Amino acid sequence: MKYTVKYKLILFNIFIFTFSILLYGCSSDKIELNEVSVVMGMGIDKIPGDKPFLLTLEIINPKSGKGDNNTSSKENKSIVKVSTGTSIFDAIQNFSKNNSSTLDFSHAKIIIFSRNLCESGVSEILDYLNRNRQIRSTNWIVATNKTAREILESRTPGEDIASRGITNMMNRFKKYPSILPVTLNDFIIESKKESKTSFAPVIELEKSKDDINGKIIIEKTAVFKNGRLIGILTNEESKNLLWLIDYSKSHMVISLTKSVKNNENITVEVLKKSNRIIPHMTEDRVNIEIQCTGDAFIREIQNIDVSPKIIEEIEHNIEIVLKNQLSELIDKSQKHFNADFVGFSTKTYNNYPQKWIIMKNNWDKIFPNIKYEITFKIKITNIGIIKDSVVSND
């Protein structure tokens, strides 16, 4: 019995030793860290020629973390590399012709589309991005009036890596929305809905004599239909769009003037609480009812004494301003874009699926003539830690 136990222990030790050697052995498909290029962001441009896709990648600079403190501080945290191809897949493959490292897209956070690409259509690009197992569906999608390459070669203030700076801005919009942040997954889901429209924030680069690198600004929204850019919403329109998006909060600042003569001014911050888009079907006509509620916070008052009556007046004035702004946005979607990015088609389909089957082929003709009614209910819930104006002109 003792010998049996002894032999079992010997065999066990031999097994452990052999297994350990196999674990530490070299594998033919093993990739060392210094052989990997970690991609933080990618930009796609459409250019003339037989290779119309220009791919720009912002890659972590492996030398930035090496050497002594003085050496590493002088190194850029990222490097920008470009490649061209007949397709986005071909452009990525062409990187291997002049780069010895393997591209790793699993850490990428941002994808930038140039205006030329957006106008020609992004469906082909979306198909590749959605199929690539390394590219996550949570990547932020942004469009730009500049070239995507120019954006990735710029630097946001306080950031050594452009992609990381843009990502931080998008994460802030997600938490405190003044514009609709859109992921790759959001973009694809929206484009598959009944309206066939989708959105992307617009990133702009403003340069001046004092700032050669330029300043990145995100305050507008690009509107796509069938994967193609059809127009851009202004900053104000982009904020009002949030009232119509079910899954998004909103955050906007409104300035009201009660009396120019008395120099009475009010600045309020409005936060969206809820929204409902309710279609009503009468024979073959669709009427839309839009109900929005929100909370308001008084941020600044000039020459106004706050009272319950004044609070009610301010609430009413806010509701009028928001109603007018939202009406202008919907009118623009109907008469200027003729694109249902406000989501009337999706709500009609959800509430009247059988009737939608009859209407969907003629929706582009039906949508511009749809009548709608907007109601806002705004409640001032915070006036700050003081009541009346600090300084009065009396």
pLDDT confidence of residue 388: 53
Answer with the one of 200, 233, 266 that is the final residue of a domain: 233
Residues of the chain with pLDDT under 70: 1-34, 64-75, 156-158, 208-213, 257-263, 284, 384-394
* Amino acid identity for residue 264 in this structure: E
Look at residue 21 and tell me if it is in a domain: no
pLDDT confidence of residue 213: 65
Residue pair 104/134 in contact (Cβ under 8 Å)? The answer is: yes
Residues of the chain by 3-state class (helix, strand, coil), percent to 5: 40, 30, 30
Q: Are residues 39 and 150 in the same domain?
A: yes
pLDDT confidence of residue 298: 85
pLDDT confidence of residue 161: 86
Look at residue 2 and tell me if it is in a domain: no
Instruction: Give the percent of the chain with pLDDT over 70.
Output: 81
Q: Are residues 279 and 221 in the same domain?
A: no
Q: Are residues 217 and 131 in the same domain?
A: yes
The dihedral over CA atoms of 46, 51, 56, 62, expressed in degrees to the nearest 10, equals 180
Q: Are residues 227 and 279 in the same domain?
A: no
pLDDT confidence of residue 308: 86
Answer with the one of 233, 261, 296 that is the final residue of a domain: 233
Look at residue 80 and tell me if it is in a domain: yes
Answer with the one of 211, 233, 255 that is the final residue of a domain: 233
Q: Which of 322, 330, 250 is CA-nearest to residue 288?
A: 330
Residue pair 151/216 in contact (Cβ under 8 Å)? The answer is: yes
Look at residue 12 and tell me if it is in a domain: no
- Provide the domain limits for residue 256: 246-394
Q: Are residues 93 and 215 in the same domain?
A: yes
Q: Are residues 189 and 273 in the same domain?
A: no
Look at residue 284 and tell me if it is in a domain: yes
Look at residue 206 and tell me if it is in a domain: yes
Domains in the chain, number: 2
Q: Are residues 164 and 257 in the same domain?
A: no
CB atoms closer than 10 angstroms to residue 201: 23
Q: Are residues 85 and 197 in the same domain?
A: yes
Compute the distance between CA of residue 118 and CA of residue 148 in angstroms, rounded to an integer.
11
